[in-house]
């Protein structure tokens, strides 16, 4: 049960308390994101055997579809979750009392997200750092993530994995064509 709940926690996204973007350009946040780092005060959020590797975000009106790729015991799994935007600052709510908020992003190279989840009567907060690249951790964004999580407590750098690469390949081929310039 704890492993599945932790997977749900890690399968979405995160935020740093109190800090939020003024306005989110939704179309720019869509696309592939590889998880690079995770920070949480709750140890449970860092010890799951089912590890999130990447997300592919798709927008339709005010709905955000998150396709998550996980590594679990040597195999890859995917899960789709649909959430609704509740305000223009990048806050989305999902089934199961989960909330995702975009804390910081440059849209092209990195994003810092916060997941809030109700678990055993408490709010669990997890901060995550993502990049668009399979190889590059984008140091300026990573330093920003470390700055935001300095007082969080536990921290884990995500491992590179084949599930992220597979999600990027599959999603890239299924993505709608870009309009001509």
Q: Where are the domains of the chain?
A: 2-173
Contacts of 39 (CB under 8 A, 6+ apart): 126, 127, 128, 145, 149, 152, 153, 154, 155, 156
Question: What token pair was written down for 65?
Answer: 């579809």
Pick the most confident of 23-37, 48-62, 87-101, 149-163. Answer: 23-37
pLDDT of 157: 67
- Sign of the Cα torsion 164, 112, 136, 46 reads negative
Q: What is the pTM of this model?
A: 0.77
Average pLDDT over residues 85-102: 82
**pLDDT tens by residue, 58-89:** 988 778 899 999 988 889 999 999 998 777 67
25-56 tens-digit pLDDT: 888 999 999 999 888 887 765 667 788 899 99
pLDDT at residue number 133: 92
> Is residue 153's pLDDT more than 90?
no
Q: Kindly report the average pLDDT of the chain as a whole number.
A: 77
CA distance 11 to 52: 6
Q: Are 11 and 95 in contact (CB under 8 A)?
A: no
Residue 172: the pLDDT is: 66
Q: What is the mean pLDDT of residues 133-158?
A: 83
CATH architecture of 2-173: Beta Barrel (2.40)
Percentage of residues of the chain with pLDDT beyond 90: 28
- pLDDT the model gives residue 27: 87
Q: Which two tokens stand for residue 145?
A: 């993530």
Residue 162 pLDDT greater than 90, yes or no:
no
pLDDT score recorded for residue 73:
82
Say yes or no to pLDDT of 174 above 60: no
Q: What angle do CA 36, 142, 160 make, to 5 degrees?
A: 20
């Amino acid at each position: 049960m704890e492993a599945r709940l932790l997977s749900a926690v890690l399968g979405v996204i995160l935020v740093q308390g109190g800090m939020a973007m003024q306005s989110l350009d939704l179309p720019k946040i869509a696309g592939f994101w590889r998880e690079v780092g995770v920070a949480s005060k709750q140890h449970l959020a860092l010890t799951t055997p089912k590890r999130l590797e990447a997300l592919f975000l798709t927008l339709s009106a005010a709905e955000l579809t998150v396709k998550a790729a996980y590594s679990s015991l040597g195999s890859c799994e995917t899960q789709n979750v649909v959430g609704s935007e509740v305000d223009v600052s990048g806050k989305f709510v999902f089934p199961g009392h989960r909330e995702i908020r975009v804390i910081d992003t440059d849209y092209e190279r990195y994003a810092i997200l916060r997941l809030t989840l109700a678990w055993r009567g408490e709010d669990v907060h997890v901060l995550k750092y993502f990049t668009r690249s399979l190889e590059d951790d984008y140091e300026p964004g990573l330093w920003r993530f470390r700055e935001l999580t300095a007082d969080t407590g536990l921290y884990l750098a995500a491992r590179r994995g084949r599930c992220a690469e597979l999600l990027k390949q599959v999603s890239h081929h299924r993505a709608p064509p870009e309009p001509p310039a």
